[in-house]
Each structure stands twice: as structure tokens, then as C-alpha cells.
Amino acid sequence: DAGVIQSPRHEVTEMGQEVTLRCKPISGHDYLFWYRQTMMRGLELLIYFNNNVPIDDSGMPEDRFSAKMPNASFSTLKIQPSEPRDSAVYFCASSYDRGANYGYTFGSGTRLTVV
């Protein structure tokens, strides 16, 4: 298994542009999580899915953020319009459960820079 695959690895965009981050979870994992990591706040949960259904999106900072999971093997996180304060590393993770028993497998992240 190749693990959780994220793309792109790096993204530099201008303020106001739309950004789409992509994630392929590990096959068989029923849960998918999107996290944002900054120096100031560490890892923050944005949203998570169970069997492709969004369960908790209370961590999504604003309406500019949206996430979808059209099937078990693909998810996207979209920011529109992007702002400089969105600059961070965005991680996708997947797991067999909510994370208590099996832990998470993280992707390598997407480093987003909004200028």
C-alpha cells in the first residue's frame, strides 16, 4: 500500500485565487480527516468523513473552505477565495476508526503559500 497520497506537495497562489487540495486515503479505511498545521496552533482538525459522508465540519474556519468526498478513494479540500492567512501545511489522514484504536495514517501534506 502506498499510504495516504496527497497532491500537490507544494502550492503557491495569489490571494483571491481558488485552491484545491487532493487526497487518496488508504484502501479500506472508513474515516478520512483533513488537518491544518501551523507553527502557532499546531495540528487542527478541519473536517472528517465516515464512509464518504461529512460528519463534523466544525473546524472549517470559514465558508471559504469546503471539502468533498465523492467516493471512498478520493477527497478534496477547496479554498475559495484564498487569503494569506490560509498559508499552512494541510494534511489528510485516514483510519479504520475515529482514531482512538487504530490511530491515523497521515499523508505527506500540502504546503500552501498564499501571497
Partner 1 sequence: KNQVEQSPQSLIILEGKNCTLQCNYTVSPFSNLRWYKQDTGRGPVSLTIMTFSENTKSNGRYTATLDADTKQSSLHITASQLSDSASYICVVSVNTLGRLYFGRGTQLTVWP
Q: Which residues bind partner 1 (CB under 8 A)?
A: 4, 41-43, 45, 91, 93, 97-101, 103-104, 106-109
Closer by beta carbon to partner 1, 3 or else 16: 3
Q: For the CB of residue 75, give the shortest distance to partner 1 in the complex, in Å.
A: 15
- How many Å apart are CA 86 and CA 84, to the nearest integer? 5
Q: For the CB of residue 50, give the shortest distance to partner 1 in the complex, in Å.
A: 11
Closer by beta carbon to partner 1, 84 or else 103: 103
Closer by beta carbon to partner 1, 20 or else 108: 108
Give the burial class of 70: count Cβ atoms within 10 A of its Cβ; 0-12 exposed, 13-18 middle, 19 or more buried. Answer: exposed
User: CA torsion sign, 10 to 24 to 51 to 31?
Assistant: negative
List, in sequence order, every residue forming a beta bridge with 46; answer none if it has no partner: none
